[in-house]
Amino acid sequence: MTRDAVTRLLLSLRIRFAACGGAIVAVIALASVGRALAAGLLVATAVLMIGHGVLAPLRRMTEAAERLAAGDLEARAPVGGVPEVHDLAVAFNAMAARLGAWHRGLEASVAARTEELELARAETLERLARAAEFRDDDTQQHAERIGRLAARVGARMGMEPQVLGDLRRAAPLHDIGKIAVPDAILLKPGRLTEEEFRIVRHHTTAGAAILGGSSSPVLRMAEAIALCHHERWDGGGYPQGRRGDAIPLEARIVAVVDVFDALTHERPYKDAWPLERALEEIRAGAGTQFDPAVVSAFLDLAEAGALAEMPGSMAVSLAAAA
């Protein structure tokens, strides 16, 4: 190539390099040859090396830092470039790894603390249920039986596991309002007067008031059960005269198992009924006092012998009949 051809080529040469969003633009125009050509090529090479060895890795590290700040604890910077940038990327990745490990440890600690709080809440609910039945149940097992049996009926009806767990804890609190009923009435061996029965019926609204206002799903369910477990399917119950599906399903379940448990166990005002008589009473109440679907599920469990593991005297009776 002649001297003139090289000169024309170099005069037409333009090297443009954009980096960091177009912040750097290098333009090299070579107008001569010899030393000037060598100097121009050296400058161009230096600009390209700076762009690819420093700026591009820094841009990728910035992107990784943004992902890390947004919650992506697996974000890492590519390792490469000039030694200084390489070392910076390694340090950044080490920091990100430590942050991820700290976050996982924090999550484990929060989970453990949450489990402790849940256990404490469950124990508190259990003790509250025992307090409610302390005066009129010598065995202190009524609330426990209601919780277990209600959950089994709910499972038979296809309730979700989380709902069943809440029902298991909420059902024993159905009579918490009896705390507001005087002993002279609650433990009376004979028939109640109309005024005494009015006071007893107040335990539904008293229980709802005691349990109301909580953000806990269990206590919200317990509030509904306490208020509605004496409502009737045909609308003739109390305290609000609800009927049919207007009564929460959990309360309709507790209504059945509570009556059954009361019938099959001795009370100050009655002897325990034989199992078959109690089952017939539940069967006869379907469609009037009780939700027919709940009664059907309950009787299915009784006929299948699935209630035989219930604690207390109910277990003996059901096991003998199975």
Question: What does the CA dihedral 225, 226, 230, 234 come to, rounded to 10 degrees?
Answer: -40
Cα(61)–Cα(85) distance, rounded to whole angstroms? 9
At residue 5 the predicted structure's pLDDT band, cuts being 50, 70 and 90, is very low
Sorted by where each starts, the structural domains of the chain and their CATH numbers stand as 3-107 (no CATH), 139-321 (1.10.3210.10)
Highest mean pLDDT among 51-55, 214-218, 277-281: 277-281
DSSP character for 267? B
pLDDT in tens, 191-204: 899 999 999 999 99
Task: Kindly state the helix (H) or strand (E) to which residue 25 belongs, with its residue range.
Answer: strand 24-25
More confident residue, 250 or 90: 250
Strands annotated E in 81-234: none
Model pLDDT, residue 44: 53
Taking residue 304's Cβ as centre, other Cβ atoms within 10 Å add up to 11
Percent residues over pLDDT 70 in the chain: 75
H or E element, residue 226: helix 217-228
* Distance in angstroms (rounded) separating the CA atoms of residues 108 and 221: 29
Mean pLDDT of the chain: 79
> Percentage of the chain surpassing pLDDT 90?
39
Judge contact between 133 and 143, C-beta under 8 A. Answer: yes
The single residue listed with the structure tokens 């039986």 is: 145
Q: Which of 14-23, 97-106, 243-252, 281-290 has the lowest mean pLDDT?
A: 14-23
